[in-house]
Amino acid sequence: MSLEHIIAALETLQSDALDKIGRAQQSHQLEDVRLQFLGKKGRLTEVLRQLAGLAAEERPQLGQKSNAVKERLTQAIDQKLQALKFAEVETRMQSERLDASLPGSGFPRGHRHPLHLVMDELIDLFARLGYSLASGPDVEDDWHNFEALNIPADHPSRDMHDTFYLEDGRLLRTHTSPVQIRALKKQKPPIRIIAPGRVYRCDNDASHSPIFHQIEGLALDHNISMADLKGTLKHFTAEFFGPEFPLRMRPSFFPFTEPSAEVDLGCVFCRGSGCSVCKRTGWIEILGCGMVDPAVLEAVGLHWEETQGFAFGMGIERMAMLRYGIPDIKLFYENDRRFVGQF
């Protein structure tokens, strides 16, 4: 082949390649072009094989030309690569673009849990009656949870408590009553405390949860009587549920109070006419209470002749369920915002 032919072949090769580069849409297509034209077994190498058939003085000319073609194509490929990358970024930016004028999706506001609301309300309510806040540990010892509250080891009422025991003999408190003992160890009467907190029992159904909350009240002084207890409770239910619901005290038994009573409130659902919640009685039990038993006073070094008073204890979940008409105790622990946000 003559020099002119070879040069013409190079021109064709170049325009073929430029055409393909121009049409490439993706970077891998450009790599194909590079291989096909400039690679070791590519078309340029093939054309250059013709070099052998040329006269010595013609060779530099062909060399120059082929270098120029090679450079031109390399440049064209690199430029196109750049352009493709730029276009890719551009499309991505377009698709990921933020429209700052769109309305925001809103940040839902948190809400206090109904148990906290009720607990705070009760603390406030009793604070207005002069009660201060007291607390004790969740992990208790047998003495504070049972013994000092006049519940000895073989006492049948221990069965009612379904206690979780720890391996070291301690336990998860089954009620907030041990806070009475802790408070009396720290402070001599006159004393008026309210003690809300978590309590634990192996019990689990629609109205029982293994962890629940109670609030304990204790008032000790001279000459405090059952009438003071009843007046206090009447004030509490009138404030918390409304003054229209009647209250009644039924004789009952608790080892740490004597006499003891259970307190019923006129059913908040049917207002006394009888419904499934109050089992057609018109009354709902809301708490346990009584005059602090002399044995309890003795356990903390006090004597019934100098000190008298009352105690009461109630379930916070129960108060919230009655107050808001909540049918299932489990709703308190699921933290569904649709539930929590209603209060």
User: In whole angstroms, what is the distance from residue 119 CA to residue 136 CA?
Assistant: 16
Residue number with CB closer to ligand DAH (69 or 297): 297
Which CB atom, from 187 or from 342, has the smaller least distance to ligand DAH? Answer: 187
Burial 124-160 (b: 16+ CB within 10 A, else e): eebeeeebeebebeeebbbebbbbbbbbeeeeeebee
Q: Which of 44, 196 has the CB closer to ligand DAH?
A: 196
Shorter beta-carbon distance to ligand DAH: residue 43 or 173: 173
- In whole angstroms, the minimum distance from the beta carbon of 201 to ligand DAH comes to 9
Q: Tell which residue, 122, 149, 138, has the closest CA to residue 210.
A: 138
Tell me the C-alpha distance between 268 and 297, whole Å.
36
Residues making contact with ligand DAH (CB under 6 A): 175, 177, 216, 254, 257, 288-290, 311-313
- Measured from each CB, the residue nearest to ligand DAH is 313
CB of 113 to ligand DAH, least distance (A): 22
Quickly count: other Cβ atoms within 10 Å of residue 286's Cβ: 24
- Residue with smaller CB distance to ligand DAH, 266 or 309: 309
* Closest CB 143 distance from ligand DAH, rounded Å: 16
Phi and psi based region of residue 150 (left: phi greater than 0; alpha: psi -120 to 50; beta: remaining): left
Q: How far is the CB of 321 from ligand DAH (least distance, A)?
A: 16
Which one, of 103, 322, 149, 135, lies nearest residue 215 by Cα?
135
Alpha carbon distance 148, 311 (integer Å): 14
**CA quadruple 233, 236, 240, 246: dihedral, nearest 10:** 40
Least distance from C-beta 324 to ligand DAH, angstroms? 22
Query: CB of 333 within 8 A of CB of 317?
Result: no
Closer to ligand DAH at the Cβ: 236 or 254?
254
Nearer to ligand DAH, 14 or 260 (CB): 260
For the chain, how many residues are written? 343
Element (H, E) at 192: strand 191-200
Select 114 or 288, whichever has its Cβ closest to ligand DAH: 288
Q: How far is the CB of 239 from ligand DAH (least distance, A)?
A: 19
Task: Give whole-number Cα distances, 242 to 168, 232, 245, 267, in Å.
Answer: 46, 14, 6, 12
- Smallest distance from the beta carbon of 304 to ligand DAH, in angstroms? 15
Complex with ligand DAH: residue 34 or 201, whichever CB lies closer: 201
CB of 338 to ligand DAH, least distance (A): 31
CB of 216 to ligand DAH, least distance (A): 6
Query: Which H helix or E strand runs over 319?
Result: helix 316-324
| N-term to C-term CA, the chain | 95
